Amino acid sequence: MPDTTRPTSARHSSSILVTGATGNLGREVVDRLQARGLRVRCLARRQLDPRPGVESVAGDLTDPALVRSALAGIDAVFLIWPLLDSAPAHDLVAELAITAPRVVYLSSTAIDDEAARQSDPIVQVHADMEALLHDAGLRPVVLRSDTLASNARGWAAQVRAGDVVTGPDIARTAVVDERDVADAAVTVLRAHHDHLDHGPYVLTGPEVLSRADQVGRLGAALRRHLRFEAVPADLARSRMLADGRPERLVEALIAASVCRPESNRVTDHVERLTGRAAGTFARWAIDHASEFS
Ligand SMILES: NC(=O)c1ccc[n+]([C@@H]2O[C@H](COP(=O)([O-])OP(=O)(O)OC[C@H]3O[C@@H](n4cnc5c(N)ncnc54)[C@H](OP(=O)(O)O)[C@@H]3O)[C@@H](O)[C@H]2O)c1
């Protein structure tokens, strides 16, 4: 494999655009780029709090004029696509093709390269995005991420209220610490283009976990007996709708819980990119325990 860890010689003058910069993963990417003295521009609908070396552009990824101005002077882009439809991405990809920065796209390990259609709408969007970026000649570096450990933050209110976490019983996955994904992203964002293996990298944690396994490990970190209780899809749907989540998102999440097959794949790609083995969910839970009390 080529030396992806060799940084570009001009790294100190590189400007990197981070999309989804207010999100669980994007925040970690921004922190790491800033700590390495790179110039960072953030794009999200909300402004980030001002900080040295970090510019913030507020607006929607589907707004081509905003994307154009956000791309001015940018060498590399950390790209996420948080929408449930890839059609509005055509304008963004066209803007990327004009300025042609290095693109690192955050995709999903659930993509089945052999399948004509993916298991559910969320995975389909990632497959469509990868194809759009390739077809535009952008040669993206694709990081396919497994379930982010930070998704567990969605359980915080239930954990504060009692010992039972309920939800749809999603298939087991090799949950990956978002800090490892951010470290991997920073490696490829800084790498010299000539030395880049464009992937797809498959970023997983070290063990395959059910939601019940995760809740158990979270309980151990909190020194409590927490347990997971799976609820049927219909009940999960009505609860999510009652919480005010958009119907389309709810349907996509239900489809993912019902249709996405179990993945037993554990890779060493985090280690290949970061030089360190991927962290466990138990470690993540210990490091984030205060967020649940
Ligand atoms: N979570 C997982 O398990 C997982 C697994 C594989 C891949 N991924 C991919 O990784 C991405 C990041 O995950 P995450 O957990 O960090 O998500 P997250 O915490 O929900 O963050 C999503 C980010 O996207 C921004 N955003 C949402 N809609 C936007 C729009 N229309 N225009 C501009 N910005 C928008 C949000 O910012 P504002 O709300 O402030 O605008 C936020 O910064 C996901 O969107 C998904 O595509 C996630």
In a domain, 19, yes or no: yes
Query: Is 195 contained in some domain?
Result: yes
**Contact in structure between 200 and 129 (CB atoms under 8 Å):** no
Residue 225 lies in a domain: no
Instruction: Find out whether the beta carbon of 42 lies less than 6 Å from any atom of ligand 1.
Output: no
pLDDT digits 0-9 by tens, 62-105: 999 999 999 999 999 999 999 999 999 999 999 999 999 999 99
Question: Strand order of the sheet with strand 15-19?
Answer: 54-58, 39-44, 15-19, 76-79, 102-108, 141-145, 201-203
Q: Does the beta carbon of 44 lie inside 6 Å of ligand 1?
A: yes
- Is there a contact between 105 and 129 (Cβ–Cβ < 8 Å)? yes
DSSP string, 82-102: -SS-STTHHHHHHHHHHH--E
Q: 254-276 pLDDT, tens per residue?
A: 999 999 998 889 999 999 999 99
Q: Residue 2 has what pLDDT? A: 36
In the structure encoding, which two tokens stand for residue 83, read together? 């929408």
Q: Which of 148, 245, 270 to mutate to test the pocket of ligand 1 (most atoms within 8 A of CB)?
A: 148
For the record, the structure tokens of 138 come out as 């952008």
Q: Which domain holds residue 129?
A: 11-144+178-203+265-276
Q: What are phi and psi for residue 215, nearest 5 degrees?
A: -65, -40
Q: Give the integer Cα–Cα distance in Å for 128 and 117.
A: 10
Nearest CA to ligand 1 atom 44: 82
User: pLDDT grade, residue 4 (50/70/90)?
Assistant: very low
> What are 43-65's pLDDT values in tens digits?
999 888 888 889 999 999 999 99
**Measured from the CB, is residue 80 less than 6 Å from ligand 1?**
yes
- The whole-angstrom separation of Cα 69 and Cα 66 is 5
Say if 227 falls within a structural domain. no
Count of domains forming the chain = 1
| CATH code where residue 78 lies | 3.40.50.720
In a domain, 135, yes or no: yes
Is residue 106 within 6 Å of ligand 1 at its C-beta? yes
Tell me whether residue 101 is in a domain. yes
256 Cβ inside 6 Å of ligand 1: no
Tell me if 150 CB under 6 Å of ligand 1. Answer: yes
Tell me the C-alpha distance between 264 and 266, whole Å: 6
Is 284 inside any structural domain? no
